[in-house]
Amino acid sequence: MIIASNFKTNHNRVSTKEFVDFINSQHFFSEVRIYPPFTAFDDFDLTPNIRVGAQNFYPVEKGSFTGEIGFEQLQEFDIDTLLIGHSERRHILGESQESICEKYNFAKSKECEIVYCVGEPKEIREQGIESVMSYIWSQFDGIDIDYDDLVVAYEPVWAIGTGLSASLEDIQEVLDALRLKIKAPLLYGGSVKVETTKDILCIENCDGVLVGTASWDKNSFSKMIEIADNFKEQV
Ligand code: PEP
């Protein structure tokens, strides 16, 4: 199971260190990922199943790209897991499929783990599963789905940060369809809470969760990881 926390634009350097140290002291079996803001990167002393990654980056080693963060800057903090295609970057920050592909190919060339996010907006969901899947497959245009270090996160746009999670049936339907072509671990994201984690992890083809809001509290995030650990022992 993979349990990932996306801090988005939350936490500072001190609170991130506290959070990471707390999670790191818990001894979990699950694979844990934490994506803090760039300014909170630090020299973390992590156990191997816990990794800190970047929410974004500019696909260059280094160069003249004012305001951006290149790979050389990430390497300074041993960052080797990256979020790509998050809906807030696609829909709020206007990232095109073309620039997402550039990032994907760059991350792949650096052999980083890629957590690749896909998901439909509300108006597409309202048209039914066929439209949902054709929208989601279009988000794989130019993406090598056979990349070894890929994790796919299904995150419906209307469920992110809204408190409205997709139903278990909706999640299962999409994950089942993705599983027909994709071997990589499949996560669900979209208003996951401590109370909903177990049911979501019980979905066949669900290999974990990517969590925003409910993960920003270290105790809640640690409970989610504990649920994943217990779940693993039961199956
Ligand atoms: C996310 O940002 O990936 C996310 C799923 O956010 P939230 O849990 O707040 O919906």
Domain boundaries, the chain: 2-234
Residue 57 has pLDDT above 80, yes or no: yes
Cα first-last separation, the chain: 12
Looking at residues 16-45, what average pLDDT do you find?
A: 96
Q: What is the pLDDT of residue 233?
A: 53
Q: Is the separation of the CB atoms in 119 and 157 below 8 Å?
A: yes
Q: For ligand 1, atom 2, which residue shows the shortest CA distance? A: 212
Q: Whose CA is nearest to atom 8 of ligand 1?
A: 212
Domain spanning 2-234, CATH architecture: Alpha-Beta Barrel (3.20)
103-153 pLDDT, tens digit per residue, is: 999 999 999 999 999 999 999 999 999 999 999 999 999 999 999 999 999
From ligand 1's centre to the CA of 208, what distance in Å?
13
From the CB of 6, is ligand 1 less than 6 Å away? yes
pLDDT of res. 1: 95
| pLDDT value at residue 33 | 98
The distance of Cα 216 from the centroid of its chain, to the nearest Å, equals 14
Average the pLDDT over 27-38 and give the result.
96
pLDDT at 235 over 50: no
Which residue type is seen at 47? T
Q: In the 3-class helix/strand/coil scheme, how is the chain assigned residue by residue?
A: CEEEEECCCCCCHHHHHHHHHHHHCCCCCCEEEEECCHHHCCCCCCCCCEEECECCCCCCCCCCCCCCCCHHHHHCCCCCEEEECCHHHHHHCCCCHHHHHHHHHHHHHCCCEEEEEECCCHHHHCCCHHHHHHHHHHCCCCCCCCCCCEEEEECCHHHCCCCCCCCHHHHHHHHHHHHCCCCCCEEEECCCCHHHHHHHHCCCCCCEEEECHHHCCHHHHHHHHHHHHHHHHHC
Type of residue found at 90: R
Cβ of 16 less than 6 Å from ligand 1? no
Average pLDDT over residues 189-200: 97
- From the CA of 211, give the closest atom in ligand 1: 8
Whether residue 178 has pLDDT greater than 80: yes
> 5 with 221: CB under 8 angstroms?
yes
Residue 97's pLDDT band (boundaries 50, 70, 90)?
very high
Structural contact between residues 61 and 72, judged by C-beta atoms closer than 8 angstroms: yes
Give the mean pLDDT of 8-22: 98
pLDDT at 219: 98
> Using an 8 Å Cβ cutoff, are 217 and 122 in contact?
no
Q: CB 43: neighbour CB atoms within 10 A?
A: 8
Which residues are tagged catalytic?
A: 86, 155
